[in-house]
Amino acid sequence: MSVNPPNQKHPLPVPGFKVGTASCGVKSPALRGKRQDVTLIVAECACHAAGVFTKNRFRAACVRSGEKTLASNSENVRAIVANAGNANAGLGEMETVWARQLIETGAEAAGVVSDSVLSASTGVIGTPFPIERIQEKMHEASDSLAADNWEAAAHAIRTTDTFAKWSSAEIEIEGNRYTLTGIAKGSGMIHPNMATMLAFVATDAPIKAAELGPMLKRAADRSFNCISVDGDTSTNDTLYLLSSGIGLGHAPLADTSLFEHALTELCIELATQIVRDGEGVSKFVTIEVSGAACEADARTVGRAVAVSPLVKTAFAGSDANWGRILSAVGNSGIAIDTNRITLSADDVLMFEKGNLHPDYSDEQGMAVFSQDEFTISLDLGMGDAQATVWTGDLTHEYITINAEYRT
Amino acid sequence: MSVNPPNQKHPLPVPGFKVGTASCGVKSPALRGKRQDVTLIVAECACHAAGVFTKNRFRAACVRSGEKTLASNSENVRAIVANAGNANAGLGEMETVWARQLIETGAEAAGVVSDSVLSASTGVIGTPFPIERIQEKMHEASDSLAADNWEAAAHAIRTTDTFAKWSSAEIEIEGNRYTLTGIAKGSGMIHPNMATMLAFVATDAPIKAAELGPMLKRAADRSFNCISVDGDTSTNDTLYLLSSGIGLGHAPLADTSLFEHALTELCIELATQIVRDGEGVSKFVTIEVSGAACEADARTVGRAVAVSPLVKTAFAGSDANWGRILSAVGNSGIAIDTNRITLSADDVLMFEKGNLHPDYSDEQGMAVFSQDEFTISLDLGMGDAQATVWTGDLTHEYITINAEYRT
């Protein structure tokens, strides 16, 4: 089940990068040769890089090691090695050993030193990590390295995703043309503050690591941290951004605002693809919060609506139950004045400044809520800040996926 | 659906109190004469009283007025008037008018002044409040006032509850015997910080309002604020405690600790009955958190586990998916050291100080999780504080109730 997955063009190659995949049978030896499950992204020059990680206190070893590498070596990143099928998490001391072995295997296949390699793992928690199966087949990834291989990588990082997720953009800045290409995976355990979600973005726009870091954080706050499927945050969430531009000889950009805009849009595109593929999601709902005292307040209110089981089941039932939405707003913890709140669904005004709108009828609301995509707009009347959050509904299918199968 | 509802004795009368009910057809005129939906609790003397209310910012008029009455008149409360079938919430300015009319109608029926009357409403949000139907039939409530009528009241405050909830206790303090009787309702929108939950507790133990307030807050924090069905908090949640003892001529208790213990136990009994009757709940799970740095931390961790959709669907699926529990602990926001955490299910040790226990097998875990009641124990290894939280599973039935019916 997914809601209107994008029917999009192939991802664009990014100057300086090659991508390869391998079929290692990470989840089970029986899958070897049947699906690609290891991805290798290699840069031909030193990249400036940044990362955003899960805020879960149980952080998998790959997250801890990625953070460490970026802290010491963010201007000399050469590769990302990623696997699906096993999160290498919840495994105690062996986790760290296996994560290092994954990085060493990736470094060898990429022909670079291991402290220039970032890693990411996704899949089941608590099952011993089959490093030997990866070591055995990693050569397939180096053998298949190619500039136009991003789509294969988007497939290889999937776990329960029903479609592969990518997005590309081209921008012209100061007379030069640059590319951004990103791939992402995630469908369960999706929630603000990074979900079981991996996303890797590569660009040849020349920007220093010191600027990439805060920029990526802002872009994540407006994209991946604004989506919710089920309110859970995983142990392994990772977003990496690699820039080859300076290594390729470009002068660093004087003004990064155009790039940041393109990066944010690309992250939003990847993030909303994740919601469209959310476990059991049958509706894609955009929640626009305006009139907030600050952007953080707007986002908090949007998230409170996006995670409320009562709101999400109302979406599932095509029930324009505005009382549940207002109750969720009231639960957000943000200071609000209920007499200033205005609520619409698409272009139907439901609730205006504390009162049900006299022209509103349940039929109008139901007509909006019965669509597979619609927008809830909330004006808090407290200021000028706004934020957008994207969410899905909570369906029987979600229960079936999560109660009946082990993920 | 409910999990092992208690098969209990009738509630005990409390000296100084009489209870009556009426069938007003609040939800629909067609229900008039078919179910009792208005409750009147009358004290024959001035009561000392306290209340705990929803933290939702959309607070219904009854909550605002109850708070106001307790602020000015907490040593002279004479009655509670409550209705099921309409929350009188989300209705703008008329809400306040209707809430006042409900109180006036109750005061007249009780024969007391209106500023000594507390009110509470529960039911659908956003439907005009049918005060005239209540005014018309309120005489039934005064006509039926009787000391042994608590069970009828427990039935009359229900909305979607499948069984009526009450609890009684007798305690001996300083040579006198006192009674506590409480009734409660709630099954959907149940979450810490007070759910769509009403609970009224009456006692003849002589305690001043100034002491009842903080005591009730502590008892609520350890009972009603430790339960979760779906993570939503309603606009109308109300817990009232009325004490007739001083009005009946008893000297105020010098030591209230025995009473507070009994009150807390009674609130826990009412709160866990609410979980057992949670919408779609098929399992009753106790989450014991120990080794926390402080009680608030322990409660936060317990709640994080209790509300996680992935944990709750694992409960539903009888899947001993300990990774989801640890991930929820990591998401709680509390400072933890993953290498100190120990996790058990009933007497099966699963995870010990950061590592899966070598003797643990999935079969053992599944045997525990397949029961309809079990206990998850988490030792954080950070200190000596502990807390207990009670929750249910997340089932298809919950989706059916909330997606297919308007509540």
Each residue's pLDDT tens digit, B281-319: 899 999 999 999 999 999 999 999 998 888 998 999 999
- pLDDT at position A355: 84
**Closest to A376 in 3D by CA, of A330, A308, A320, A338:** A320
Closest chain B residue to the Cα of A334, Cα to Cα: B57
Taking alpha carbons only, the member of B187, B389, B202, B200 closest to residue B307 is: B389
Taking only the tens place, the pLDDT of each residue in A204-213 is: 999 999 999 9
Q: What's the pLDDT score for residue B195?
A: 44
Answer whether residue A376 shows pLDDT above 80.
yes
Subunit contact A323:B126, Cβ cutoff 8 A? yes
Coil vs helix vs strand at A331? coil
Residue A3: other Cβ atoms inside 10 A:
18
**Is residue B184 a contact partner of residue B168, using CB atoms and an 8 Å limit?**
no
List CB contacts (< 8 A) between B225 and chain A.
Answer: none
Nearest CA in chain A to B125: A323
Residue A97 has pLDDT above 50, yes or no: yes
Q: Hey, what amino acid is at B217?
A: K
Residue labelled with tokens 């220093």: A208
Q: Which conformational region is residue A4 in: left (phi greater than 0), alpha (psi within -120 to 50 degrees), or beta? A: left
Query: Which string of DSSP letters, residue by residue, matches A161-203?
Result: -SS-EEEEEEEEETTEEEEEEEEEE--SS--SS--S-EEEEEE
Among residues B207, B251, B218, B256, the alpha carbon closest in space to that of B47 is found at: B207
Chain mean position to CA B306: 16
* A394–B399 CB contact, under 8 Å: yes
Write out chain A residues lying below 8 Å of B187, CB-based. Answer: none
Determine the distance in angstroms separating the CA of A119 from the nearest CA of chain B, rounded to an integer.
20
CA dihedral sign of residues B269, B275, B281, B284: negative
Nearest residue to B179 via CA among B21, B45, B11, B10: B11
Beta pairing partners, B286: B375, B390
> The complex's ipTM?
0.74
The pLDDT tens digits for B128-137 are 999 999 999 9
pLDDT of res. B194: 40
pLDDT band at residue B232 under the 50/70/90 scheme: low
pLDDT score at A153: 98
Q: What's the whole-number mean pLDDT along residues A363-380?
A: 97
| The pLDDT value given to residue A126 | 79
Query: B191 falls in which pLDDT band (50, 70, 90)?
Result: very low
CA dihedral A261, A267, A268, A273 (to 10 degrees): 150
**Is residue B403 very low, low, confident or very high in pLDDT (cuts 50, 70, 90)?**
confident
Spatial CB neighbours of A319, under 8 Å, sequence gap ≥ 6: A366, A369, B403, B406
Which residues share a beta bridge with B111? none
Instruction: Output the pLDDT for position B383.
Output: 97
Q: Is the pLDDT confidence value at B23 over 90?
A: yes
Contact B178, B205 (CB under 8 A): yes
Average pLDDT, chain B: 91
Inter-chain residue contact B57 with A399, CB threshold 8 Å: no
- Cβ contacts below 8 Å, chain A against chain B, sum to 176
B219-230 average pLDDT score: 83
The fold adopted by the segment(s) A17-276 is: L-amino peptidase D-ALA esterase/amidase (3.60.70)
Rg for chain B (alpha carbons), in Å?
Answer: 22
Shortest distance between the Cα of A87 and any Cα of chain B, in A, equals 11
Picking from A58, A124, A317, the nearest residue to B403 by CB comes out as A317
Burial class (CB in 10 A: 0-12, 13-18, 19+), A30: exposed
Mean pLDDT of B326-340: 88
**Res A125 pLDDT > 70:** yes
Amino acid identity of residue A284, one-letter, is F
Q: Which residues of A touch B399 (CB under 8 A)?
A: 313, 316, 394-396, 398-399
Contact: B125, A330; criterion CB under 8 Å: no
- Catalytically annotated residues of A: 196
Residue in B58, B321, B360, B398 to test binding to A, most A beta-carbons within 10 Å: B58
Residue of A124, A300, A313 best to disrupt the B interface, most CBs of B under 10 A:
A313
**Tell me, what's the pLDDT at B123?**
85
Question: Among A126, A308, A396, whose Cβ lies nearest the Cβ of B356?
Answer: A126
User: According to DSSP H, which parts of B4-59 are helical?
Assistant: none
% of chain A beyond a pLDDT of 90: 72
More confident residue, A280 or B163: B163
pLDDT for residue B206: 97
Residue range B48-76, pLDDT digits in tens: 999 999 878 788 899 999 999 999 999 99
> Over 80: is that where the pLDDT of B402 sits?
no
Query: Do B322 and A394 count as a contact with CB atoms less than 8 A apart?
Result: no
pLDDT at A192: 37
Average pLDDT over residues B118-123: 93
Nearest CA in chain B to A338: B58
The Cα–Cα gap between B389 and B382 comes to 19
Do the Cβ atoms of B329 and A396 come within 8 Å? no
Give pLDDT, residue B327: 85
Please state which architecture CATH assigns to domain B284-404.
Roll (3.10)
> What is the least distance, in Å, from the CA of B169 to any CA of chain A?
34
Chain B: residue nearest A356 by CA?
B91
Which residue type is seen at A346? D
Model pLDDT for residues A246-256, shown as the tens digit of each residue? 999 999 999 99
pLDDT at A390 > cutoff 80? yes
Residue B333 in this model has a pLDDT that exceeds 80: yes
pLDDT digit string, tens, across residues B371-382: 999 999 999 999
- A309 with B124: Cβ contact below 8 A: no
Task: Please give the torsion angle defined by the CA atoms of residues A360, A364, A368 and A371, in that order, rounded to the nearest 10 degrees.
Answer: 160
What proportion of chain B, given as a percentage, has pLDDT over 70? 95
* % of chain B surpassing 90 pLDDT: 72
| DSSP result, A245-293 | TTTTTPPPPS--HHHHHHHHHHHHHHHHHHHHT-TT---EEEEEEEEES
pLDDT of residue B397: 83
CB < 8 Å to B231, chain A: 231, 307-309
Show residues of chain A in contact with B55, CB under 8 Å.
331
Q: Which residues of A touch B335 (CB under 8 A)?
A: 57
Q: What residues does each domain of chain A span? A: 17-276, 284-404
Choice between B149 and A93, residue whose per-residue pLDDT is larger: B149
> What pLDDT, on a 0 to 100 scale, did the predictor assign at position A406?
57
As annotated, the binding site of B for substrate includes 159, 185, 196, 279, 402, 407
Interchain pair A327, B91: CB under 8 A: no
Rounded CA-CA distance A215/B227 in Å is 40
Kindly name the residue from B21, B69, B160, B196 that is annotated as catalytic: B196
The contacts found for B343-350 with CB under 8 angstroms, 24 or more apart, are B343/B376, B343/B377, B343/B378, B343/B379, B344/B376, B344/B377, B345/B320, B345/B369, B345/B374, B345/B375, B345/B376, B345/B377, B346/B371, B346/B374, B346/B375, B350/B320, B350/B322
Chosen for mutation from A127, A283, A357, A402 (greatest number of chain B CBs closer than 10 Å) is A402
Name the residue facing A403 among B55, B59, B313 (closest C-beta). B313
Q: Is B6 or A158 the better-scoring residue by pLDDT?
A: A158
Please give the pLDDT value at position B187.
67
**Which pLDDT value is given to residue A331?**
85
Which among B349, B353, B351 is positioned nearest to B339, based on CA atoms? B353
Per-residue pLDDT at B125: 77
| Alpha-carbon gap: B177 to the closest alpha carbon of chain A (Å) | 41
Distance from CA of A57 to the nearest CA of B (A): 4
Query: A323 and B233: CB-CB below 8 Å?
Result: no
Structure-block tokens of residue B288: 């014991």
Q: Which of A57, A122, A228, A318 to mutate to test binding with chain B, by most B CBs within 10 Å of its CB?
A: A57
Binding site: which residues of A? 159, 185, 196, 279, 402, 407
Confidence of residue B192 (pLDDT cuts 50, 70, 90): very low
pLDDT per residue as tens digits for the range A156-204? 999 888 899 999 999 999 899 999 999 999 865 454 344 478 999 999 9
| Three-state SS at A61 | helix
Which residue from A91, A332, A396 is facing B396, i.e. has the nearest CB?
A: A396
Hey, what's the torsion of the CAs at B84, B88, B89, B95, to 10 degrees?
-160
| Chain B partners within 8 Å of A394 (Cβ) | 309, 399, 403
Instruction: Give the C-alpha separation, A327 to A378, whole Å.
Output: 13
- So what's the pLDDT on residue B129? 96
Average pLDDT over residues A141-148: 98
Encode pLDDT of B24-49 as tens digits.
Answer: 999 999 999 999 999 999 999 999 99
* Residue B267 identity: C
CA-based nearest residue in chain B for residue A395: B399
- Give per-residue pLDDT as tens, A222-232: 998 888 755 55
Quote the pLDDT of residue B162.
Answer: 87
What residues of A are in contact with residue B237 (Cβ under 8 Å)? none
Window from A148-152, B58-62, B383-387 with minimum mean pLDDT: B58-62
For B337-354, what is the mean pLDDT? 93
Buried (b) or exposed (e) across A329-344, using 16+ Cβ within 10 A?
bbbbebebebeebbbb
Cα→Cα distances B46→B145, B217, B351, Å:
17, 22, 55
For helices A93-110 and A131-143, what crossing angle results, to 10°? 20
Q: What local confidence, expressed as pLDDT, does residue A230 receive?
A: 55
Lowest-pLDDT range of A3-17, A335-349, B232-246, B284-298:
B232-246
- Integer Cα distance of B305 and A306 in angstroms: 19
